[in-house]
Amino acid sequence: MSKTIFFSVGEPSGDQHAARLVRELLAQNREWNLRGFGGKHMQQAGCQIDLDLTEHAVVGILEVLPKIKQFFGFADQAEALFAAGEVDAVVLVDFPGFNWHIAKRAKRYGIPVFYYCPPQLWAWAAWRIKKMKRTVDHVLCVLPVEQAFFSRHGMSTELVGHPFFDAVAESTLDADRLQQLCRASESESTVAVLPGSRTHEVHRNWPIMVQAIKRLSEKHPDARFAVAAYREKHLEFCRSHPEASQLPIDFYLGCTSEIIEHSKCAMMVSGSVSLELMARQTPAVVLYRIGRFLNLFAKLVVRAKSMTLPNMMPLEETSLEHSQDTELPPPADRVFPEIVSVGNSAPAVEFLTETINRMLSDADYFAKKQRQLTQLGQRYAEPGATSRAAQAIDSHLPRNDQPETQRAA
């Protein structure tokens, strides 16, 4: 008897992680029926996509409020499947605000809920652990600090590792794309530009990046800037900037890994792609632009001292369980120098410009950054997360020859 696993995945990066998990689960058991909310990568991997939730990725309460009615409609759509008895397990990937509603509705019908790549409650919302405990049965943690946090609060956890390192280990770089990049820039001063995977991120951060590129091109006339766009509409938005055509910028779609591998350094919008930069040992500076209200809210609730995951991974032999209590260097001195931009964008433009300029012109500084990334990679970039996650899900599902838990009416 086949089993149906329902996925709920709202982030573009989560779509890629879940796609690898879909392939791994189907490799273990072709009889499983995998369906749910996700994106194009999951669909290509063999998951039936009932809704492309990645098209609706939002961050912050101001962006969520206009879509609340729509999101409740999506949750109703999932609950109809749960109520019909068509789902044997639910796998959530990140996207906590919405996914907690999916988990709550699954629990009404006694359906086991797994959280893969769980929300970083240890960093910004520890008080929400009660909600997580009520609605989630098993947490598949990607960082040791996560496992320590959720275990401390009495949740069933397994440390599987971060799937981004699987992506790096398994990916085969496109040789034609690399040659194209090499032809576009014969100098060693190619800078990767990663403006984000969400539309609102691209719209907020790209104008700042363009101004930094303008200044850097004056300091380094031989440098070229390779923009990695996640979607066609992002590429067109970036290309349409009034000053973009006057600058040494090359635009690419769907070759982020090749651009990271080829480039000497990068400027990026904060996100999980920082783990790939870490694994590929490409130094980068991190930007994230937010509104004033969200910034004030973040100051009240966020416990994490960095917005970049590698910056929260100790270089020395320090217990990750206590790493969140360890003092970090100033933002400009971290492994990935970072800045949050609020209001006037001039300080962010200056920060990006000066940091990338230093990476391009100061050999000692650049070598130091590469050494730090090598240290982090040796300690944390272990592949195999996807396989371990699939095994964990399989081990917690009822066997076909065992009676399943009676579901609530």
Q: Which of 100-104, 228-232, 403-407 has the lowest mean pLDDT?
A: 403-407
| Structural domain span for residue 345 | 173-380
pTM, rounded to two decimals: 0.73
pLDDT at residue 125, as a whole number: 63
Pairwise CA distance, residues 166 & 31, whole Å:
24
Instruction: Tell me: do 252 and 374 sit in the same domain.
Output: yes
Residue 403 in any domain: the answer is: no
Please report, for residues 211, 233, 257, the alpha-carbon distance to residue 199 in angstroms, rounded to integers and kept in the order given.
19, 8, 20
Rg over alpha carbons for the chain, rounded to the nearest Å, is 22
Pairwise CA distance, residues 280 & 163, whole Å:
15
CATH number reported for the structural domain that contains residue 371 in this entry: 3.40.50.2000
Task: Report, as an integer, the average pLDDT of 31-37.
Answer: 94
Instruction: Tell me: do 298 and 226 sit in the same domain.
Output: yes
Instruction: pLDDT band for 2, please (50, 70, 90 cuts).
Output: confident
pLDDT at residue 85, as a whole number: 93
- For residue 216, pLDDT over 70 is answered with yes
| Contact (Cβ atoms closer than 8 angstroms) between residue 316 and residue 271 | no
| Contact (Cβ atoms closer than 8 angstroms) between residue 265 and residue 366 | yes
Instruction: Tell me: do 263 and 305 sit in the same domain.
Output: yes
The pLDDT tens digits of the residues spanning 179-208 come to 878 777 666 789 999 999 888 899 999 999
pLDDT at residue 185, as a whole number: 67
pLDDT at residue 403, as a whole number: 47
CA atoms within 13 A on the CB side of 395: 11
Instruction: Tell me: do 108 and 90 sit in the same domain.
Output: yes
Dihedral (CA of 395, 112, 162, 26) sign? positive
Which uninterrupted H or E stretch holds 261? helix 256-262
Instruction: Tell me: do 221 and 243 sit in the same domain.
Output: yes
Residue 166 in any domain: the answer is: no
